[in-house]
Structure 1
């Protein structure tokens, strides 16, 4: 949660939850602080990287670090949290079907030279999330790391006209986080409604994964541990 008031409301709505952490994922420093909060709670069984902003930003909104809002929250924050939170047993990254139109060249990640396009920036970021999931699966063989697309559902981001099943949308990430079914205890896969789905070809390409990892390390000043 980004602010304490919303966190308190969420905690009241889920009495079984032990606690809720707050942090501003648009800020590198605040994301680092969030990772520190998480580590004080001990090792997690699973971490689901679900937070994101959508594709309707009409202009390049710069964060306190000078990065595009979409890139900072959707790409860099999950990288930082992955790097700094003690390795859990499982990692789950929320991508999108729009990742297939993302730019695998990784050129101008900060949108400093390109004319701003909100949908393209979002698509790029969701490609990055899938790349990160597959890179982690390869680098950390003792951690189950996967990505998924929840579908186009009627959330605030998706809009009221979205055609997919809202109730089905969160099931895959929960399944990947907790299920002991053989289909869920894999690593380096991409899912849609609990079934494997093909990705952008670049997602499985180490020659694209590694430059993204290096770029995120450069932007954040944080290296991904071995």
Structure 2
């Protein structure tokens, strides 16, 4: 069985992902903003551990990484935490996954949640530094980050997942996609070998699609990594 970290696991897709993985017998460490958010009976006793911290606060992100390190090297890390609210969307959706990835031991599989809305995102990275990013921007950036990481470290695969428009608190009751289908790809990628492509995929319901062209542009990837390094003071290995 695998040791897996799921961020933003107190509700919605994150909780559904963590619950499915635990139900399959995996050791799941869940992340939430506060301990109270994972104290509900639906999660009690199911988790291998809990890490807490507000990923909208850049100063708390290294502490989340420190807590996670106490569990050793993960087999998979699923960067699920997300928000549509500006200005914290850039920090939660892009900066936090970057910093956690840089500070934690490299797992076998890195999974980052993207969105079909990333196709409307901008490559103007001044929006990152000035705090004016839209949700679509942040999802384009995290998708580009995923592709940039896909072949960076031997033994570590990276994939981006579009979970669809699902009826979570963020997606709203009018969402037309199925919640189960929304988390199934993450659980599959995090626990299976022999996936094709083995790294660098942009996935929707277990099938790959082409992301925004900028996500695969090495020049944009380099600009993004440089901007994230300069913003956070944290560099990738």
TM bucket, shorter chain = 0.7 to 0.9
1:148 maps onto 2:161 in alignment: yes
SS at match of 1:103: coil
Q: Which of 217, 223, 236 is the aligned partner of 1:205?
A: 217
In the TM superposition, residue 26 of structure 1 has moved relative to its aligned partner by: 1.3
Within 5 Å, which residues of 2 pair with 1:64-213? 68-111=87-130, 121-183=134-196, 186-213=198-225
Per the alignment, residue 6 of structure 1 pairs with 37
In structure 2, stretches of 5+ residues that fail to align are 1-31
Q: Deviations over 1:21-75 (max 9, x none)?
A: 1111012221001101111110000000000011xx4xx5xxxxxxx31111111
Mapped to 2, the partners of 1:132 and 1:48 lie a distance apart of: 14
1:46 maps onto 2:76 in alignment: yes
Q: Deviations over 1:81-128 (max 9, x none)?
A: 00001000100000000000000232332345xxx5xxx610000001
Contact 1:149 1:192 in 2 (8 A): yes
1:215 maps onto 2:234 in alignment: no
Contact 1:7 1:21 in 2 (8 A): no
Give the direction of change, closer, same or farther, for the CA distance of 1:71–1:129 in structure 2 (3 Å limit): same
Misfit runs of 4+, over 6 Å: none
SS at match of 1:21: strand
Tell me which protein shows more strand as a share of its residues: 2
In the TM superposition, residue 14 of structure 1 has moved relative to its aligned partner by: 5.3
In structure 1, stretches of 5+ residues that fail to align are 61-67
Contact 1:95 1:148 in 2 (8 A): yes
SS at match of 2:110: strand
Mapped to 1, the partners of 2:105 and 2:152 lie a distance apart of: 15
SS at match of 1:223: coil
Mapped to 2, the partners of 1:132 and 1:80 lie a distance apart of: 11
What count of residue pairs does the alignment treat as equivalent? 206
More moved, 20-29 vs 79-88: 20-29
In the TM superposition, residue 180 of structure 1 has moved relative to its aligned partner by: 2.0
SS at match of 1:51: coil
Mapped to 2, the partners of 1:108 and 1:182 lie a distance apart of: 35
